[in-house]
């Protein structure tokens, strides 16, 4: 192009999101950035001077947004749900710490107990709410909007043979 060499790449980062790759790679990258955000603030999370409520607010305002950036376009497969849940439970266990039982044995909190402590405001529910919010936003756009036209676009070619991929619109019964 105008005697300039342009490298061909498989993927690149644009506005913090990985482009031209699989969603699993994107999730893995987002979780790695969430871990980096956690370990950057590790002294706050380990400190006894900071309350659990403050640590939880720090998680909700710094770490979770880092992990779920761009989640409105994700297709939530079971493997992705599992990875996000494991990441969140790991962070929550570090925030809330172990529980001392009646027989003086320390145990880590169960998934159900952690879910109760955060009042069921887990990362998966958040992603689903963001997707629904984005769907509502695009459905209210005028028909001439580029986003709306792309959302309603139907490809001219047929689908390949085999089982169709699971999509959010199909799963929610919107089509």
Q: What is the pLDDT of residue 93?
A: 93
Q: How far is 68 from 106, CA to CA, in rounded Å?
A: 32
Q: What is the pLDDT of residue 3?
A: 81
Q: What is the pLDDT of residue 168?
A: 58
Spell out, as residue ranges, where the chain has pLDDT lower than 50.
175
Q: How far is 122 from 114, CA to CA, in rounded Å?
A: 9
Q: What is the pLDDT of residue 165?
A: 67
> Where along the chain do its domains lie?
12-153
CA 125 to chain centre: 10
Q: Which residues have a Cβ under 8 Å from the Cβ of 149 and sit 6 or more positions away?
A: 143
Give the tens place of pLDDT for each residue, 102-150: 888 988 888 899 899 888 899 999 999 999 999 999 889 998 998 888 8
Q: How far is 63 from 90, CA to CA, in rounded Å?
A: 12
Q: How far is 107 from 97, CA to CA, in rounded Å?
A: 9
Q: In 10 A of CB 90, how many CB atoms?
A: 13
**What is this structure's pTM?**
0.78
């Amino acid at each position: 192009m105008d005697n300039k060499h342009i490298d061909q790449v498989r993927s690149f980062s644009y506005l913090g999101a990985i482009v031209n790759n699989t969603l699993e790679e994107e999730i893995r990258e987002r979780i790695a950035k969430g871990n980096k955000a956690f370990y950057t603030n590790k002294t706050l999370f380990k400190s006894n001077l900071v309350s659990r409520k403050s640590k939880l607010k720090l998680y909700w305002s710094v770490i979770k947004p880092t992990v779920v950036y761009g989640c409105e376009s994700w297709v939530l497969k079971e493997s992705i749900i599992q990875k996000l849940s494991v990441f969140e439970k790991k962070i929550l266990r570090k925030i809330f710490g172990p529980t001392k039982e009646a027989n003086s044995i320390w145990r880590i909190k169960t998934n159900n107990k952690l879910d109760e402590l955060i009042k069921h405001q887990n990362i998966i529910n958040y992603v689903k709410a963001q997707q629904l919010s984005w769907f509502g936003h695009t459905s209210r756009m005028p028909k001439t909007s580029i986003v709306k036209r792309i959302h309603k676009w139907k490809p001219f070619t047929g689908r390949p043979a085999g089982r169709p991929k699971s999509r959010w619109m199909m799963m929610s019964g919107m089509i």
